[in-house]
Structures are given as C-alpha cells and as structure tokens.
Amino acid sequence: MGAGGRTDVPPANRKSEVDPLKRVPFEKPPFSLSQIKKVIPPHCFQRSVFRSFSYVVYDLTIAFCLYYVATHYFHLLPSPLSFLAWPIYWAVQGCILTGVWVIAHECGHHAFSDYQLLDDIVGLVLHSGLLVPYFSWKYSHRRHHSNTGSLERDEVFVPKQKSCIKWYSKYLNNPPGRVLTLAVTLTLGWPLYLALNVSGRPYDRFACHYDPYGPIYSDRERLQIYIYQMQEYLQYAMAFSVLPWQKDLPGWCVFMEFHC
Ligand SMILES: [Zn+2]
C-alpha cells in the first residue's frame, strides 16, 4: 500500500487533484446546521459566568506579570540582551492578549454569560483596552459569520474574483512571498481593516469602524457605537494624563509602552 496505492489513481482523478477549481465542493452538504447542533452534548451550550470570568482573570494575571517583568527587569539586562528581550516580550504578550481579544469576541457573540448587558460591558472593557471598537466590530463581525464566503455580503476576507487579482500577486506566490504576506497581515492587517476597511466588503463610499455614520451600520446600531466612542475618549484622556504609578513618564508613553 502507501506509495503503491497512489500509483493506482486513475489519470482523471489525478488531474482533479492538481486542479483546485475541481476540488472545491459546491454541492449542499448532506446534513443541516441544526443536525450538527443536535449531536453536540447540551452542556457544551451552557454559559457559566464563573468559568468565563476565570479565563479573564487568568489571562490578565499573566499579562500583568509579563508587563511587570518587562518594565522592572529588562533595563537590568546587558545592552544586546535588553534589545532582544523586548521583541520577545511583544510576541509573548501578543499571544496572551490575543486570548483576551478572543474572550471579548465571545462577548460579542453573547457566549460569555446568559446576560447580554454583562457580555457587552465585559467585551467593551476588554476590547477597548486593546484599542478595538467593540460595538462597531461586533456588528460587522456578526454579519461576517452569517455571510461567510459571500462575494456580495461578507464583511471581511471577501473572496477575490480572478479578474480582480492584482498584477503583483504572482510574485508573492512563493514561500518568501507568503511569509511577507503573512507578516503584513499579522502586523498591519487588523488596524488597516478597522480604519480603512482593507480586505473588507466593498461599499459605495468610505467605510471605517470608527465612524458611526459609516455605511457598515444601521441607525439602530449607531447609538451603541457612540457609547463606545465616549468610553474610548475617556480612556485616551486618562492615558494622556500623568499616571500616578509612573511619575517619571507622561501618560501617553505608558500607554504606548503597554500597547506596543
Ligand atoms: Zn466570531
């Protein structure tokens, strides 16, 4: 078997293996979403406030410990090591804070607890700490889930038609090109999407997650986006004032130090 089995593949099937268009399934699956839900044990759908908050405390405790070590001990390291320590800190802290981001994402899906208001408060606080506009993204992200893969209605990661693929794409279709694409996506992709709708759904006018009047939102959704913005401005005001536990640094330095 093994390699011998592969040689028995008929030529027609072998051709379909290398032709990605022929591999893409387009038939309706022989099961429905409700059938899948029925076979998942009921306890998997029960939301526990205690368990959800335990994840928040767990992640924030680790994030605080990392921040404490970085700000109190990195300057004691010899020069080359301290320059190496900060990028390692950014990567590790990024992984931990991604966990916090995911908890706020679950709040947006009302999966954190049985209480919608509690979910929105926790999601707003956690996402705002990561500079994510909670309500704005909650609404666009919900539409992404209900229209995933749609050329017309998906909100992000909209599939590209062949005619719309850029001329330089062929130069990125190799390992270094993919690494470059991944690096740009992982560093700039998220802020570019939020601020400029890069890779987002095409609208007939400028779309931005920080603009309550933008075409992404309905009138009902705009009110909650205003609440986010007021809360965000309050956060900026606190950050730009002098924080009491870092008397030698202006607030905006501490703010950038924590978020970078
Ligand atoms: Zn989601």
Per-residue pLDDT of 42-76, as tens digits, reads 999 899 999 999 999 999 999 999 999 999 999 88
Q: How far is the CA of 48 from the centre of ligand 1 (A)?
A: 19
Q: Output the average pLDDT for the chain.
A: 83
Higher pLDDT pick, 35 / 233:
35
Reported for 159-162, long-range contacts at CB under 8 A and 24+ positions apart, including other chains, are none
Per-residue pLDDT at 260: 41
Of 133, 111, 146, 109, the residue nearest 212 (C-alpha): 133
pLDDT tens digits for 173-184? 899 999 999 999
In this prediction the pTM is 0.76
Q: How far is the CA of 117 from the centre of ligand 1 (A)?
A: 18
Q: How far is the CA of 108 from the centre of ligand 1 (A)?
A: 8
Per-residue pLDDT at 83: 84
Q: How far is the CA of 150 from the centre of ligand 1 (A)?
A: 16
pLDDT tens digits for 67-119? 999 999 998 888 888 889 999 999 999 999 999 999 999 999 999 999 999 99
Q: How far is the CA of 160 from the centre of ligand 1 (A)?
A: 21
CA-based angle 140:236:87, to the nearest 5?
A: 80
End-to-end CA distance of the chain: 53
Quote the CA–CA distance of 140 and 154 in Å, as a whole number. 9
Would you give the DSSP letter of residue 200?
Answer: B
- pLDDT grade, residue 123 (50/70/90)? very high
pLDDT tens digits for 140-192? 999 899 888 888 888 888 888 888 888 888 888 899 999 999 999 888 999 99
Q: How far is the CA of 141 from the centre of ligand 1 (A)?
A: 6
Quote the CA–CA distance of 70 and 64 in Å, as a whole number. 10
Q: How far is the CA of 230 from the centre of ligand 1 (A)?
A: 25
Q: How far is the CA of 146 from the centre of ligand 1 (A)?
A: 10
Q: How far is the CA of 143 from the centre of ligand 1 (A)?
A: 10
Q: How far is the CA of 96 from the centre of ligand 1 (A)?
A: 18
Q: How far is the CA of 12 from the centre of ligand 1 (A)?
A: 39
Q: How far is the CA of 227 from the centre of ligand 1 (A)?
A: 22
Q: How far is the CA of 92 from the centre of ligand 1 (A)?
A: 23
Q: How far is the CA of 41 from the centre of ligand 1 (A)?
A: 21
